A = this chain, B = another copy of it.
Amino acid sequence: MTEPYSDADKQALYRAIYERRDMRHFCGGKVDESVLARLLSAAHAAPSVGLMQPWRFIRITDNNLRDQVYALVQTERRATAAAMGERESEFLSLKVEGIRDCAELLVVTLKDKREAHIFGRRTMPHMDIASTACAIQNLWLAARAEGLGMGWVSLFEPDDLKTLLKLPADSEPLAILCLGPVESFYDRPMLEQEAWAERAPLEHFVMENQWQPNEP
């Protein structure tokens, strides 16, 4: 049995959990190679269904390619705005990505040949998405502790990103991650600060033994 975590250790973990933010504002700079290695290693320590380790990381170091990723996100940003109806202009006023400003750009994609993995996925094939999200959350918390911001951008057409990065047909991109130094971290989620959405209190999210509609 390993040593219990000290109160200070627990506090450090909870601090990262509560101070982690989905960042869209970056200030260039760079991410030290050794720090990036620690972050990717933390991601790789995530749980995965049947130990399939479905995550793959593509580091975008080519600036021309970064521009193409940016363009692809802009296309979806406009399409999303058009689908927003009365909130279109409000949506367009939000900064929804930091692709050109972040130090490092990573694309996270699901591996190919996933149909071979049945364990925990026969009725729940999307568990590979869940496992990969756990890996990204590890990376996110580690980045926060290292003083780096991260933002998960999902405003893209997956098929277009697949084509751009020459992904296999049976792979599936899940995230464009913007990573790097920031001026400061948001005090609250940016979408809350900008009054896009409110956070609801935890008690509305916990039920006992069966579904109980308890939202406000």
Using CB atoms and an 8 Å cutoff, list the residues of chain A in contact with chain B: 1-2, 4-6, 8-10, 12-20, 22, 38, 40-42, 44-47, 49-53, 55-62, 65, 76, 79-80, 83-84, 91, 109, 118-124, 126-127, 129-134, 136-138, 140-142, 144-147, 152-158, 165-168, 171, 174-175, 183-185, 189, 191-192, 196-200, 202, 205-211
Contacts and interface: CB of A to CB of B under 8 A. Distances in A.
A197 B65 contact: no
A145 B5 contact: yes
Contacts of A152: 47, 49
Contact of A79 (B122, B130, B166): B122
12 contacts: A1-B183, A5-B16, A12-B12, A14-B38, A40-B205, A44-B202, A57-B206, A83-B118, A120-B154, A124-B154, A130-B154, A171-B211
Nearest to A192: B51
Given A158-B124, A206-B59, A168 B13 contact: no
A22 B47 contact: yes
Contact of A133 (B19, B62, B134, B155): B134
Given A17-B141, A211-B165, A80 B12 contact: no
Contact of A142 (B13, B109, B202): B13
A83 to B, nearest CB: 5
B134 A40 contact: no
Given A51-B191, A60-B209, A134-B140, 18 more contacts: A5-B12, A5-B15, A17-B138, A20-B45, A44-B205, A47-B137, A49-B154, A53-B205, A56-B205, A58-B207, A58-B210, A76-B123, A80-B118, A83-B122, A120-B155, A127-B154, A133-B137, A165-B209
